A and B are shown apart, each in its own frame.
Chain A
Amino acid sequence: MEFKSADAYFSQSRGVLKCTIRGEIDHHSAKSIREEIDKRLRDESPSELVIDMGGVTFMDSSGLGVVLGRYQKAREYGIGFSVPRTAPAVKRMFDMAGLERIIKYGEENSNTEKTERRG
């Protein structure tokens, strides 16, 4: 029996691999999300990984593991990484963990182009 509480959708254009996650990210759903993203990174060799988390309805610290792990992977591959949209459930977890020091992430409705950061 396969029970999935979250789904990851992918699209690629001009070397940018975009992964859109919807639903609830917990330890259970984290596994397949992680594996799917890693497989795409291997197979498609993008120049940038963008994870859209605007449609995430629940996230616990397992989601931090997913994001930090993908950030590490992106660094290993030497490619860009960002999370342009974060739902409130995601953003409060990122804020709490102090992720703004490491990762670029936007608010719920900000768009991909608007990722200006303080230097």
Chain B
Amino acid sequence: MKSKEKSCENTLKVSFESLSRNESLARSLASAFMTQLDPTVSELADMKCAVSEAVTNCTVHAYKNTVGTVYMTMKAYSDRSVRIEIRDKGCGIDNIEEAMQPLFTTDPDGERSGMGFTVMENFTDGVRVISRRGKGTKVTLTKKLSSLRSDT
């Protein structure tokens, strides 16, 4: 590889209502978008799981007791990395560091395990969270896919 510059080669933006049945739809969309990069089965499974966590958090926490819009932007880069941004205009997170601790949950009654962010961190190469109380939250998941086996 000559240059370290990476360029964005494709973008897909979708928005949908924060209904729980859209969690599987969001995973399927992420999976369909990633297919063009020819990921391994486990890379695909990892990203689907991370997306499921982030989208579920919009349904369960951001728009608790209401329905709002979830915005998902997917980008594929020339260096075989994928970036998926999941954004809501919900309640926001007061203390991001605390929220990202394993087992931390503000909803134990709903049988949340508090492992959502831990899953995202374990199954991707980067999780970035930006949030403002009352404004919303943006979670950016990045994954670098392994290089393609050359058939020549």
Contact = CB atoms under 8 A, between A and B. Distances in A.
B106 interface: no
A98 B45 CA distance: 20
B107 to A, nearest CB: 10
Sort chain B's interface into a size bin.
Answer: 20 to 34
User: Which secondary structure characterizes the binding site on chain A?
Assistant: helix
A26 B119 CA distance: 13
Interface in B95-142: 110-116, 118-119, 122
B20 A27 contact: yes
Interface residues of A, number: 23
A27 B45 contact: no
Contacts of B53: 60-61
Interface stretch (A11-19, A46-54, A62-70, A108-116): A62-70
A30 B56 CA distance: 12
Contacts of A3: 21
Contacts of B119: 60-61, 93, 96
User: Which secondary structure characterizes the binding site on chain B?
Assistant: helix
B48 interface: yes
Contacts of B115: 61, 64, 96-97
B67 interface: no
B21 A28 contact: yes
A68 B113 contact: yes
Contacts of A41: none
Contact of A61 (B20, B110, B116): B116
B111 A34 contact: yes
What 6 pairs between A and B have smallest CB-CB spacing?
A28-B20, A65-B111, A61-B115, A64-B113, A60-B52, A27-B56
